[in-house]
A and B are shown apart, each in its own frame.
Chain A
Amino acid sequence: MKDISHLISIKKKMVVPLLFIIMFSYFLFITCIAYFPEFLGQQFFNSTISYGIVFGFLLILIIFIVTLVYVFLSNKYLEPEIKKITS
């Protein structure tokens, strides 16, 4: 077995922040729902669309972007490292 500590540290640097973004934004969303439903009901600028809907749609976007970023980073940093070890 070759030394993979460098590979593991790259992977950690990618996974931990992205995991944090997901956990933080999702639990923020859930907490707002449980504690501040009125705030989420307020209207966004002068429209009928509420903060809750904007937050929700934004969260869907964040979730998708996180998966996209992870694959982008994997191809750029992780895969070359893995290739070095497997070849």
Chain B
Amino acid sequence: MNIIAVSLFLLFVFVTLYITYWAAKQISNRDSFYTAGGNISGFQNGLAISGDFMSAASFLGISGLVFATGFDGLIYSIGFLVGWPIVLLLIAEPLRNLGKYTFADVASYRLQQRPIRTLSALGSLATVSLYLIAQMVGAGKLIQILFGLPYDLAVYIVGGLMILYVTFGGMIATTWVQIIKAVLLLFGATLISILVLYQFNFNLNQFFSTAVQNHELGSKILNPGGLIKDPISAISLGLALMFGTAGLPHILMRFFTVKDSIQARKSVVYATGFIGYFYILTFIIGFGAIILVGSNTDYLKPNGGLIGNNNMAAIHLAHAVGGDVLLGFISAVAFATILAVVSGLTLAGASAISHDIYANVINSSNKNEKKELFVSRIATIFLGILAIFLGIIFEKQNIAFMVGLAFAIAASTNFPIIFLSMFWKNLTTRGAFLGGLIGLLVTIALVILSPVVWVDVFHFTEAIFPYKYPALFSMTTTFFFVIFISLSDRSSQAIKDKKGFQEQFYRSITGIGIEEGKKH
């Protein structure tokens, strides 16, 4: 066990728990719990958003992918990044102008509350749970390798700390934990990259040619490999990544933490800048690992392959260029990263339960802010325990498909509902609810029948649905059914739904009414 890693991590825990204590004193109502009272600045929110995206999975996973395949890692990074201009151009401002706490506020703005909130909460919880499982399992395995702790204990620590942060500190603590971690991670990744490039006198040409000489694939690491083989998969993956970001509940929720649409826009610019910069660093780190880790027997198993696995490339590289100190620092940062990301996810899930399901579906006649706040805390604890439980169950399962499925659901259920409710005046409650539900079921079914689950998890020889990425089909299905059912809807509710569009659209563009919405 690395003493530096453990002490730095303990320091991080101490500081973040102190922040949670400080945040807890400020949490008096729903506003402060769900959205930090809307007092986060665009710059702070941009950092926090980038923190949500720079998970341990993307830091270690993408640098590991670059280490193994070279160029292909960049395809993923760019896919994750390209969702941001979409968020900015299409939904950030109307989202801020129409919503208060969850994206369901926006989706159900002029539609019937109960069915739309239920559907949105379902979409949110599905996305959040899949993400949480992936993060928890990843966390357990990572901490097992980094700190030598047993898998179960690691999962308990992550789950326990996350419950403390979110239950007591709400969005205020979650945001600050995310900001601190984002700064640490950006600093650490920058330091590794500079130390690596320093060895090549910052000569990129020499850097890449040395990597080519060191890699068993040779110059193939500079061109696209096997990640995307056919155009359908290419477009389908592209759509999922592009529009999935605009449907992730924990990301959308962050836009309610700033005061207005000007700050919401700023958040995206800062976030895009930080995330883009970070992905460039992971690319350099991956190539650096090819040179300095892949050829050093200290980091290899006797029979080949990295100690740990390919995801350890960045960690080994930190050791190779900065010794035990940098290794300790990066390990602690990786741990902190996991904590921050699961906290954001849990808060988004808890708000879907308390604000959407409890306050607006189950108990809509009897609104009581104090009770809703209490329910959101209970929901946090419940989700935290569920995450620990699922993390332990899924330890030995193949979970590679989960983040892909989360993105597919976000792109094929959440995004169409949000987008159409904002911009299409003929959307009706029935169309959104039934179409969204069909879309959700079709997405899940296609993923189960696809090679990533049917073959890789269930071990059938051939997949029923041939493509790895369903978004092209599932997104079109949702859009088709939502539009078709809405257009054929002749109910009296449909007339009300359409009537509300004008006022909603006016507010979504001008922001008039937003102050009133905030206090409520």
* Chain A residues within CB distance 8 Å of chain B: 1, 4, 7-8, 11, 15, 18-19, 22, 26-27, 29-31, 33-35, 37-38, 40-41, 43, 47-50, 52-53, 56-57, 59-61, 63-64, 66-68, 70-71, 74-75, 79, 82, 85-86
Cα of A52 to Cα of B89 in the assembled complex, Å: 27
Instruction: Say whether, besides A22-B86, A34-B228, A49-B204, A1 and B279 are in contact (CB < 8 Å).
Output: no
Q: Choose among B88, B89, B235 the residue that contacts A30 (Cβ–Cβ < 8 A).
A: B235
Nearest residue (CB) in A for B266 is A71
- Shortest beta-carbon distance from B123 to chain A in Å: 24
- Shortest beta-carbon distance from B73 to chain A in Å: 10
Instruction: Say whether, besides A4-B506, A47-B205, A53 and B222 are in contact (CB < 8 Å).
Output: yes
B223→A52 contact, CB < 8 A: yes
Nearest residue (CB) in A for B276 is A60
Cα of A85 to Cα of B276 in the assembled complex, Å: 36
A60→B89 contact, CB < 8 A: no
Cα of A66 to Cα of B87 in the assembled complex, Å: 12
Cα of A74 to Cα of B260 in the assembled complex, Å: 14
- Shortest beta-carbon distance from B72 to chain A in Å: 9
Nearest residue (CB) in A for B73 is A56
Nearest residue (CB) in A for B223 is A41
Nearest residue (CB) in B for A25 is B82
Q: Choose among B212, B230, B265, B509 the residue that contacts A11 (Cβ–Cβ < 8 A).
A: B509
Instruction: Say whether, besides A8-B509, A63-B84, A48 and B272 are in contact (CB < 8 Å).
Output: no
B89→A15 contact, CB < 8 A: yes
- Shortest beta-carbon distance from B369 to chain A in Å: 28
Question: Which residues of A have CB within 8 Å of B280?
Answer: 57, 60
A79→B262 contact, CB < 8 A: yes
Nearest residue (CB) in B for A22 is B85
A48→B222 contact, CB < 8 A: yes
Nearest residue (CB) in B for A29 is B78
Counting from the closest, the 3 A-B pairs by CB-CB distance are: A41-B223, A50-B222, A48-B209
13 pairs of residues in contact across A and B, judged by CB atoms under 8 Å: A22-B89, A30-B235, A33-B224, A40-B71, A40-B223, A41-B222, A49-B208, A60-B279, A67-B85, A67-B88, A70-B85, A70-B88, A75-B262
Nearest residue (CB) in A for B75 is A33
B503→A1 contact, CB < 8 A: yes
Question: Which residues of B have CB within 8 Å of A31?
Answer: 231, 234
Nearest residue (CB) in A for B236 is A30
Cα of A74 to Cα of B234 in the assembled complex, Å: 33
Nearest residue (CB) in A for B507 is A1
Cα of A22 to Cα of B243 in the assembled complex, Å: 12
B223→A38 contact, CB < 8 A: yes
A30→B265 contact, CB < 8 A: no
Cα of A63 to Cα of B227 in the assembled complex, Å: 22
* Chain B residues within CB distance 8 Å of chain A: 71, 74-75, 77-78, 81-82, 84-86, 88-90, 204-205, 208-209, 212, 219-220, 222-225, 227-231, 233-235, 237-238, 242, 262, 265-266, 268-269, 272-273, 276, 279-280, 502-503, 506, 509-512
Nearest residue (CB) in A for B503 is A1
- Shortest beta-carbon distance from B419 to chain A in Å: 13
B85→A18 contact, CB < 8 A: yes
A52→B224 contact, CB < 8 A: yes
Supply 18 further A-B pairs (C-beta < 8 A) apart from A41-B219, A63-B81: A7-B510, A30-B75, A30-B235, A30-B237, A31-B231, A34-B228, A41-B222, A48-B222, A53-B222, A56-B77, A60-B77, A63-B276, A66-B85, A70-B265, A71-B266, A74-B262, A82-B511, A86-B512
Question: Which residues of B have CB within 8 Å of A52?
Answer: 71, 74, 222-224
Instruction: Say whether, besides A34-B229, A60-B81, A86 and B234 are in contact (CB < 8 Å).
Output: no
Question: Which residues of A have CB within 8 Å of B84?
Answer: 63, 67
Cα of A59 to Cα of B242 in the assembled complex, Å: 14
Cα of A47 to Cα of B222 in the assembled complex, Å: 12
Instruction: Say whether, besides A1-B502, A64-B273, A74-B265, A33 and B228 are in contact (CB < 8 Å).
Output: yes
- Shortest beta-carbon distance from B423 to chain A in Å: 11
Where chain A touches its partner, the secondary structure class is: helix
- Shortest beta-carbon distance from A41 to chain B in Å: 3
Q: Choose among A7, A37, A63 the residue that contacts B272 (Cβ–Cβ < 8 A).
A: A63
Question: Which residues of B have CB within 8 Å of A35?
Answer: 231
Question: Which residues of A have CB within 8 Å of B262?
Answer: 74-75, 79
Question: Which residues of A have CB within 8 Å of B279?
Answer: 60
- Shortest beta-carbon distance from B163 to chain A in Å: 35
B89→A49 contact, CB < 8 A: no
Question: Which residues of B have CB within 8 Å of A64?
Answer: 269, 272-273, 276
Question: Which residues of B have CB within 8 Å of A50?
Answer: 71, 222-223
- Shortest beta-carbon distance from A86 to chain B in Å: 6
- Shortest beta-carbon distance from B137 to chain A in Å: 29
Question: Which residues of A have CB within 8 Å of B242?
Answer: 26
Nearest residue (CB) in B for A18 is B89
Question: Which residues of B have CB within 8 Å of A49?
Answer: 204-205, 208, 222
B510→A86 contact, CB < 8 A: yes
- Shortest beta-carbon distance from B242 to chain A in Å: 7
- Shortest beta-carbon distance from A16 to chain B in Å: 9
Question: Which residues of A have CB within 8 Å of B238?
Answer: 26-27, 30
Nearest residue (CB) in A for B42 is A71
Question: Which residues of B have CB within 8 Å of A56?
Answer: 71, 74-75, 77-78
Nearest residue (CB) in B for A46 is B205
